[in-house]
Amino acid sequence: MSDPVTTSFDLECRNVRKNFAAFTAVNDVSFQIPQGSFFSILGPSGCGKTTLLRMLAGFQQPDAGDILIKGRSVLDTPPNKRPVNMVFQHLALFPNMTVAENVAYGLRRRKAPRHEIETAVKDMLARVGLPDSGGKRIDQLSGGQKQRIAIARCLVLRPDVLLLDEPLGALDLKLREQMKVELKHLQEKFGTTFVYITHDQSEALVMSDHIAVMNKGRFEQVGTPQELYYQPDTAFVASFVGDSNCWRGTLVSRDSEGAAIRTASGLQFRVEGALENLQQGQEAQVYLRPEAVKIELASASSHGDAGAGRGGENCFSGVVDAVLFDGARSQVQVSLDHSSESISVALPQTPMFHNIGKGQRVLLSWAAGQCSCFPV
């Protein structure tokens, strides 16, 4: 990331660590979040992301390291004095209060004058698009409305950082898609720094400016959504972000631009790109996105000349094993000739493929640079 002297960071963690008995939940995590950005921490459940977020909010104390907000350490600041607010996983809206009382709660605790509170609440409700809901009870709101009130309740306090703990998890799929867009808009409108944790890669990819992929208490990679997707640093990132075909094979030969990998079942293909960590004869893990594979229909008789490495292009023939129709995300599974490997390929949305079925012969090809290789 950029130089800390020239950029102002809203939030910074330095070598933060947290242990629970013998278990290390957060292991030596450092990161910096520039002002006004949408930062996501993406990881499977149990990776330590919730613990990290709770340390930022002050509900847990790190065993080592430092947390700085706007350049000031907040380790000695109790949670009710920290300039961060949090949207809880199940929102934690107070059921015994109205919508307006929920939004006003933080201002009341600051002992703000009554008329100021009233205007601030009214203004905030209007900005989140619920101007007439002030008098409603919480259980009269829909899931998406609750979501917006939970955010409004925090933003009305003008926090330096807003923490969001998987707030979309409880929503159904349609609403979740809609809320992703809405959250991004809200963040841009208010310009507040959002720290968003989730196990759903699509939420992170759609909304974030930067994403940290977390696994077993450590950050595996921090970068833009595109960087994570196209240039994963580790095998974990490659497999966790997006769908991939994954093979395990041995590096059989290498040259100046790339190398050839052969799997146990005899599939051999060429890879190019970052291979510095790989030696001849070493085991490697290879990932290939389904949409990176070009697919063509072939006639029943033609046996494509399977081969790797012609001009950096891998070409194979095979037979369709199964069609997994899912609209725009449809895939076919193809078993390759001359090996027992099978591969998932994204189905192009052209009329040519509308009637593809089991047993159809196809030709597959992908550029050698599309594969990501990692030593095992």
Residues near another protein (CB under 8 A) are 57, 59, 78-82, 84-86, 88-90, 92-96, 105-106, 109-110, 153-154, 157
* DSSP strand pairing (245-254 vs 283-288): antiparallel
Query: 141 or 323, CB closer to another protein?
Result: 141
C-beta of residue 331 within 8 angstroms of C-beta of residue 290: yes
Shortest distance (Å) from residue 103 CB to another protein: 10
Q: Residue 176, CB half-sphere, CA atoms under 13 Å: how many? A: 15
Query: 88 or 229, CB closer to another protein?
Result: 88
Shortest distance (Å) from residue 240 CB to another protein: 27
Shortest distance (Å) from residue 272 CB to another protein: 49
Cross-strand pairs, 293: none
Query: 159 or 217, CB closer to another protein?
Result: 159
Shortest distance (Å) from residue 138 CB to another protein: 11
Distances (CA, A) of 95 to 7, 98, 99: 41, 8, 9
Query: 86 or 373, CB closer to another protein?
Result: 86
d(CA 161, CA 335): 50
d(CA 203, CA 210): 12
Shortest distance (Å) from residue 107 CB to another protein: 9
Alpha helices for the chain (secondary structure H): 49-57, 99-109, 114-127, 143-155, 173-190, 201-207, 225-230, 235-240
Query: 134 or 232, CB closer to another protein?
Result: 134
Q: Collect all residues with Cβ–Cβ distance below 8 Å to 287 and sequence separation of at least 6.
A: 232, 235, 238, 239, 244, 245, 246, 371, 372, 373, 374
Shortest distance (Å) from residue 154 CB to another protein: 7
Query: 162 or 235, CB closer to another protein?
Result: 162
